[in-house]
Amino acid sequence: MPAHLHGRPRTSEDQQDQRCVIRVLVVAQVLGGIGAGATLSLGALLAAQLSGSSAWSGMAATMATLGAAAAAVPLATLAQHRGRSVSLSAGALVAASGALLAITAASLSLFPLLLAALILLGVGSATGLQARFAATDLATDATRGRSLAVVVWSTTIGAVLGPNLFEPGEAVAGLLGIPALSGGFVFSAAAQVGAALLYRLGLRPDPLLTALRLQAGERAGGGPAGDTASRLPESAAPGRRRGIAVLAGNAAARYAVVSIAVAHAAMVSLMAMTPVHLHDHGAGLSVVGLTISLHVAGMYALSPVFGWIADRAGTTRGILCGQLVMLAALLMAWRGADSEVRVTVSLVLLGLGWSACIVSASALLAGAVAVTERAPAQGSSDLLMNLAGAAGGALAGPALVLLGYAGLGLVAAVPVAVVLVWTLRRLGSARRPTVSA
């Protein structure tokens, strides 16, 4: 990796700024997770109620995913020009407005208005994804993975609390005179406003703007000018070269983004169909709920461990670890589709593998591009990640009907295996001795 991506040696003031950034991001992610959890749990029920058919309940996750995909690049562009503080606070406020719009849609019984609200609520998910990258702006190579992983882990708290707001939401709805199912969105709106205030007031100095200033100082002082694969004039980098172009010219960043997208698509496709598969095979709602809860725990609870692995063993080896676990999970789903225990174990392993891949690949992406290109590349990564997840979820239904749950697991394993081979080739290339001219 080029030396300029390592940054200058961090002073105690830099380290203090980084600790402050992490604290703010962790608390804000807890609040944002509450908002997202309420959206996923109550949005599907409200969609079924307003549309008059449970067939439309899946539109809650679909519209939220599309909203996250649509917001990824604009939020990254805003961060590049105005900083993380402005970008993240703006995203949280848009999500808060989506929660208020959902309450309005429920009060007026307007299903199309609810769909628009869910798109805005999806911006909160995009904000949470970009918050993990904010943790890496001032981090060193030795701590980048752990910094990112701590912020990812904090999402667990909100994700667990959010879906449990049904009964308190009903009580609040009764007090406010709004439909019972919309009460939880009051908590969602309040949580997102609180997150916006934390981002706006707590991220001072702004981590991305500080990183840009530090790199500008290094270059002015005669530091390395940058990577030959991605070198740009400082003034031209934000405007002329969008995220996709940055990824096209940077092999390490391109590998990281593909790893993220494939892991997310595989995870979403199997997770989305597991409740249907278990229910069709006679499993009770308690078993379905426990399986999904354990899966979510696998996605987030051990992310600090995977961050430590990425920092100590290297990000590519961290990705390799995640891909091996995901492949094992998908093959277990293929061979053990008729067993509730094996399906549950496979989904837990799937969450763990996803976590290792996302943490390590995100850390690799953050370190693979220059600071001036970081936000556009990260925005494009989140866009492709959400689109891959939406595609995986959309294709999983027909695959389940045509091939069954076992066939779905085997099909999802194919792209993971392809990226696994790519990873092994990268590791093999890194071990080969370099022959000088």
Q: And the tokens for 44?
A: 């599907």
Residue written as tokens 């993971």? 416
Could you check whether 11-211 and 243-430 share the same CATH topology?
Answer: yes
Q: Which of 392, 145, 101 is nearest to 272 (CA)?
A: 392
Distance CA 48, CA 61 (A): 12
Contacts of 3 (CB under 8 A, 6+ apart): 223, 224
- For the segment 246-300, what is each residue's pLDDT rounded down to a tens digit? 888 889 999 999 999 999 999 988 887 887 788 777 777 667 767 877 887 888 8
Q: How many CB atoms lie within 10 A of CB 425?
A: 10
Write down the domain spans for the chain: 11-211, 243-430
Are 188 and 35 a contacting pair, CB within 8 Å?
yes
Question: What's the confidence (pLDDT) of residue 159?
Answer: 66
Q: And the tokens for 293?
A: 């809860």
Per-residue pLDDT of the chain (437 residues; tens, 9 = 90+): 333 444 444 566 667 878 899 999 999 988 887 767 666 667 777 887 888 876 676 677 778 888 988 999 899 889 988 999 999 999 999 999 999 999 999 999 999 999 999 999 989 989 988 888 888 888 888 888 888 888 888 877 776 676 666 678 888 889 999 998 888 899 889 999 999 999 999 998 899 998 888 877 665 555 444 443 333 334 334 433 567 788 888 899 999 999 999 999 999 888 878 877 887 777 776 677 678 778 878 888 889 999 999 999 999 999 999 999 999 999 999 998 888 899 999 999 999 999 999 999 999 998 888 888 888 888 889 899 989 988 887 788 888 888 988 999 999 999 999 999 999 999 988 776 544 43
C-alpha dist (Å) from residue 53 to 109, 391, 396: 14, 23, 21
Are 256 and 368 a contacting pair, CB within 8 Å?
yes
Q: And the tokens for 171?
A: 């009580």
Secondary structure of residue 341 in the 3-state scheme: helix
Element (H, E) at 219: helix 207-220
Are 116 and 104 a contacting pair, CB within 8 Å?
no
Question: What's the confidence (pLDDT) of residue 219?
Answer: 59
Are 214 and 8 a contacting pair, CB within 8 Å?
yes
- The DSSP 8-state label assigned to residue 436 in this structure reads P
Residue written as tokens 């003031």? 13
Are 148 and 132 a contacting pair, CB within 8 Å?
yes
Architecture of domain 243-430: Up-down Bundle (1.20)
C-alpha dist (Å) from residue 368 to 134, 136, 229, 240, 378: 15, 12, 11, 19, 11
Residue written as tokens 């290297």? 314
Q: Which of 259, 353, 299 is nearest to 152 (CA)?
A: 299
Q: Which of 334, 336, 362, 333 is nearest to 349 (CA)?
A: 333
- What torsion, rounded to 10 degrees, do the Cα atoms 110, 113, 118, 121 define? -120
Q: How many CB atoms lie within 10 A of CB 87?
A: 28
Question: What's the confidence (pLDDT) of residue 163?
Answer: 61
Q: Which of 329, 7, 28, 266 is nearest to 141 (CA)?
A: 7
What fold is seen in the domain 11-211?
A: Growth Hormone; Chain: A; (1.20.1250)
Question: What's the confidence (pLDDT) of residue 5?
Answer: 41
Are 170 and 180 a contacting pair, CB within 8 Å?
yes
Question: What's the confidence (pLDDT) of residue 45?
Answer: 75
Question: What's the confidence (pLDDT) of residue 312?
Answer: 92
pTM confidence score:
0.78
The residue count of the chain comes to: 437
Question: What's the confidence (pLDDT) of residue 309?
Answer: 92
